Structure 1
Amino acid sequence: MPNYLDEAHRAEVGKLTMTLASQTEWPTWLLLVGFYMAWAGIIFYGQALGEVFTLVLLIPLVVLWLSIQHELIHGHPTRWPAVNKALGFLPFAVWYPYDIYRDTHLAHHDDAMLTVPGHDPESRYVTRAAWSQSPGYVRALLWVNKTVGGRLLMGAPFAVISLLSSEVRSLFSPGRSAGRMWVVHVLSVVMVLSWVERYSAISAVQYLFLVSLPALSISMIRSFYEHRPSALPEHRTVINESSGPLSWLFLNLNLHLVHHDLPGLPWFYLPRVYWARRSQWIARNNGYVIHGYFQLLHRHLVNPVDCPRHPASH
């Protein structure tokens, strides 16, 4: 347990790990079963729902799936990574193979390297060298991507293009053996889209572009200003005090500092741990607090949240 927590707080967190919910992970199991039942119901009985309702229900459900996969990567609901992968590898969100998401996200949890381009796989910043060498239109797009509106419109396509381009290059790199992973992923995507095409009220193309991409865009609201450059690693991770529908879809990951400091803590205990010692958490990240996603939208719909160029990189 982190040594910066005071003794009382450490004892409280320790007690939570011994509860029935923590020992059995029944809330996460319930969430998994509920997701599979909801997705199957919408797809296989979608003709009764119609096209519009199918789309409206599937988008938040796929956002939730991305959050569920995140929990699986962090060792929930079982201690066995292979079992968690089996529970969550199906590509309902289409684009990201489970293995890539797992490996890049766990690498992202090296807090000493948070936000540093070239070291943090989830960094939203570029180096000074990359910035100086980029043409004007690329800089303009990077600035736009630093607004909420720009992230919603461009973030998902950019992420998919970046993923595919980097993977195509790496497939031909010496020592790289990702071919099998991609074969399994593509076959799984074909299977999921075949179910959609055959049984649901929407087509596979609609699922790709009217469900999966919008869901990825919504999930990027959470990561939009999740981290910032700072000299101290603990000052780099946000606390967003949202308590609305988005915080539920994100499984409380808006309380992101708590998650980074206690990555093994299940999603359903993050709010309890945060609110029990709110002032201490805020002091720890030097007041890096956002009071809900509406505040973020209001301030940064069209105004960049910060500079795309990392201040400490070369």
Structure 2
Amino acid sequence: MLPPDSARRSAWLNDSQRLAVRQWSQSWLWRSELPTWLLMITIYSGWFATLAFHQTLGLVASTALLILLTTWYMSLQHELIHGHPTRWPRLNQLFGLLPLAVWYPYGLYRDSHLAHHRNQLLTVPGEDPETYYFSAERWQRFSEWQQRVIRWRNTFVGRLLLAPLLDIFGVLAGMVASFRRGERPAIAMWLVHFILLALVFYWLEHNDFPILWYLAAVSYPALAVTKVRSFLEHRAADDPLARSAITETSLPWRLLFLNLNYHSVHHDLPGVPWYGLRKVWLRDTERYQQRNQGFVVKGYREWWRNYRFRPVDVTVHPGKSHDR
């Protein structure tokens, strides 16, 4: 269930930890995946019910709930990609196909994210599709205003306000390129996405919830909230084991992000379900702190204090990279 993805990681995981994870994976809770099933029921029922009763709730309350539920849904999609709650990827995909967050087809997110999990290539431009770094060659080709935009994006405020827009432009540009090149799998993926998106928009219209309001006041803020978690989730480091952060944060954030704040644990053991990540962290805290060379953050407020308007240095990757 939880095979190591490299000899180095296998060597790091001592016998007692392997035994503990194996025992937990055989427990009824882990085998039944009950927390993930309940999570899906809560998110879907909450999202549809909020729209159905939004006039009773009022625009402000319903919008806030929809932002919360849509952000939570994106966390759920991540869990589905990693093989939960069933052992059948196609079935898991069905649970995450509905584009509640609007912009990203599930298949695009799945393929990108699984490529991101090649730990030896983590943060490397041209290899890691989720990196914020650029190769030195590409950075030099940017104009001065482009470099300014990137540095603004690398502030905490910029990551919330600007990064979702840049991501959306990037996704749409990739879609147009796929259609121009006639890439049939990508075209089919986008057509399915558009059909499902039409169903989402129909439900919004059916419940008299403005589509433009949903795009601007629900979808975009939900994407922005995910940027809180990923602000400095990874850094360039010689040792791949030191590239992923641990963020010690409060229960509401942990639930919203499904414990992905324990990101070093997740990259080490991507098959562990979301409700097991904290358990692994608490069991081997000191070992993980050594593993990621002290890349531990004391809550998201630390990023806010240090980088509210000051860019974090994730521009030019310091190592060798493939130009992109």
Q: TM-score, normalised by structure 2?
A: 0.94
Q: Which runs of 5+ in 2 are unaligned?
A: 5-9
Q: 1:171–1:177: 8 Å Cα contact kept in structure 2? A: no
Aligned to 1:46: 54
Counterpart residue type for residue 304 of structure 1? P
Alignment of 1:70-149 (within 5 A): 70-149=78-157
Post-superposition Cα deviations, 1:104-153, rounded to whole Å, max 9, x if no partner, equal 00010000111111100101111101111110000011111111111001
**What is the distance in 1 between the residues matched to 2:86 and 2:246?**
27
Q: 1:234–1:285: 8 Å Cα contact kept in structure 2? A: yes
Q: Could you tell me which of 177, 186, 191 is aligned with 2:185?
A: 177
Q: 2:265–2:277: 8 Å Cα contact kept in structure 1? A: yes
Q: Could you tell me which of 56, 59, 66 is aligned with 1:58?
A: 66
Q: 2:125–2:134: 8 Å Cα contact kept in structure 1? A: yes
Aligned to 1:252: 259
Offset at 1:177? 3.2
Q: Which runs of 5+ in 1 are unaligned?
A: none
Q: Which moved more, 1:285-294 or 1:164-173?
A: 164-173
Aligned to 2:34: 26
Offset at 1:3? 3.1
**What is the distance in 1 between the residues matched to 2:173 and 2:320?**
24
Offset at 1:51? 1.1
Q: 1:224 to 1:128 in 2, by over 3 A?
A: same
1:177 aligned counterpart, secondary structure: helix
Query: Is 1:213 matched with 2:220?
Result: yes
Q: Which moved more, 1:190-199 or 1:169-178?
A: 169-178
**What is the distance in 1 between the residues matched to 2:79 and 2:49?**
23
**What is the distance in 2 between the residues matched to 1:20 and 1:297?**
40
Counterpart residue type for residue 42 of structure 2? G
**What is the distance in 1 between the residues matched to 2:179 and 2:285?**
46
**What is the distance in 1 between the residues matched to 2:264 and 2:17?**
15
Aligned to 2:309: 302
Offset at 1:174? 5.7
**What is the distance in 1 between the residues matched to 2:218 and 2:88?**
31
Offset at 1:102? 0.4
Q: Could you tell me which of 297, 310, 324 is aligned with 1:290?
A: 297
Note the aligned Cα RMSD (angstroms): 1.2
| Consecutive aligned runs of 4 or more in structure 1 exceeding 6 Å deviation | none
Q: Which moved more, 1:122-131 or 1:166-175?
A: 166-175
Counterpart residue type for residue 63 of structure 2? L
Post-superposition Cα deviations, 1:170-198, rounded to whole Å, max 9, x if no partner, equal 22226553111111101111110121122
Q: 1:42–1:54: 8 Å Cα contact kept in structure 2? A: yes
**What is the distance in 1 between the residues matched to 2:49 and 2:62?**
10
Counterpart residue type for residue 97 of structure 1? P
Aligned residues: 313
Q: Which moved more, 1:299-308 or 1:13-22?
A: 299-308
Identity of aligned residues (%): 40
